[in-house]
Structure 1
């Protein structure tokens, strides 16, 4: 998998140069094949929710783990998406955690 910086884009953003558009909520197997090619992959996720949508954020975490570099999401989901992408990067070890706590008891 190529290492691309993960970015959150507005729903009407064009496909970034050099990226492959996997479509709206594509199958994980399709995303995995596209990401394995080394190209940056774009996924569009849609929801009508005004609050963070747990299903959308869970799907985004799987896509990020598979190597998706760009996410087009509604503005209401942008902050949650950035947190999910940071969390996945921390778990994968590609960025340090924002906050580390050790046994405080």
Structure 2
């Protein structure tokens, strides 16, 4: 998979050759350190699989919180079970950071 966008969202078990895999729910310090390098950072926002290969489902709110915080810290690739909602959260983070214009700009002037 190629990384062409500011942020990319992949499935929970996807492998991304170009990215440094930070693992499942890494610490903020680890993400910051890896993001300081030249390669994009992959963060897995899903629960790690158990010994049988099964994984517990992650609540939507939990996944979006993880995606948003890791994006703010500098991660660029996110593995999650909720790709559509994660993409919206990433668009919001980019808008708040000022790297993407908001979808709709309205002023409160009459």
Q: RMSD in angstroms over aligned alpha carbons?
A: 1.7
Equivalenced residues, count: 97
Aligned-residue offset at 1:104: 6.3
Q: Does 1:69 align with 2:76?
A: yes
Structure index of larger Rg: 2
Moved over 2 A (4+): none
TM-score normalised by the chain length of structure 2:
0.80
Residue 13 of structure 2 is aligned to residue 12 of structure 1: yes
* Structure 2 match to 1:34: 34
- Normalising to structure 1: TM-score of the pair? 0.83
Gaps of 5+ in 1: none
The answer to whether the 8 A contact 2:19-2:39 is kept is: yes
Alignment gaps of 5+ in structure 2: 48-56
Q: Higher helix share goes to which structure? A: 1
Q: Where does residue 100 of structure 1 map in the other structure?
A: 105
1:55 aligned partner: 62
Q: Alignment partner of 2:23: what SS?
A: strand
